[in-house]
């Protein structure tokens, strides 16, 4: 299965991450863009120590509604 996975480089919150996945490259980039957008929204609204928790809660809420 590892051979089926592609390496896709994405940028989230100013940091580049290599993502190895079997999903479509465009889908991986779309998800990364969404996470980047949420990170930037949260940074503007809460202290940095709360960013990861706020993003996780916000993303989960949107996913499950």
Checking if the pLDDT of 1 tops 70, the result is no
What three-state secondary structure class fits 17?
Answer: strand
What pLDDT, on the 0 to 100 scale, is given for residue 26? Answer: 94
What pLDDT, on the 0 to 100 scale, is given for residue 9? Answer: 94
In 3D, which of 53, 20, 26, 23 has the Cα closest to residue 39? 53
The residue-averaged pLDDT of 4-9 equals: 90
pLDDT one-digit tens code per residue, 9-62: 999 888 999 999 888 999 999 989 988 898 888 777 766 666 666 777 777 777
Structure tokens given for 64: 């499950």
What pLDDT, on the 0 to 100 scale, is given for residue 50? Answer: 63
What pLDDT, on the 0 to 100 scale, is given for residue 11? Answer: 92
């Amino acid at each position: 299965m590892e051979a089926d996975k592609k390496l896709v480089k994405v940028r989230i919150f100013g940091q580049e991450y290599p993502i190895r996945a079997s999903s479509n490259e465009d889908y991986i980039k779309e998800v990364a863009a969404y996470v980047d957008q949420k990170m930037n929204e949260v940074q503007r609204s809460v202290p940095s120590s709360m960013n990861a928790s706020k993003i996780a809660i916000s993303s989960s809420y949107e996913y499950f509604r």
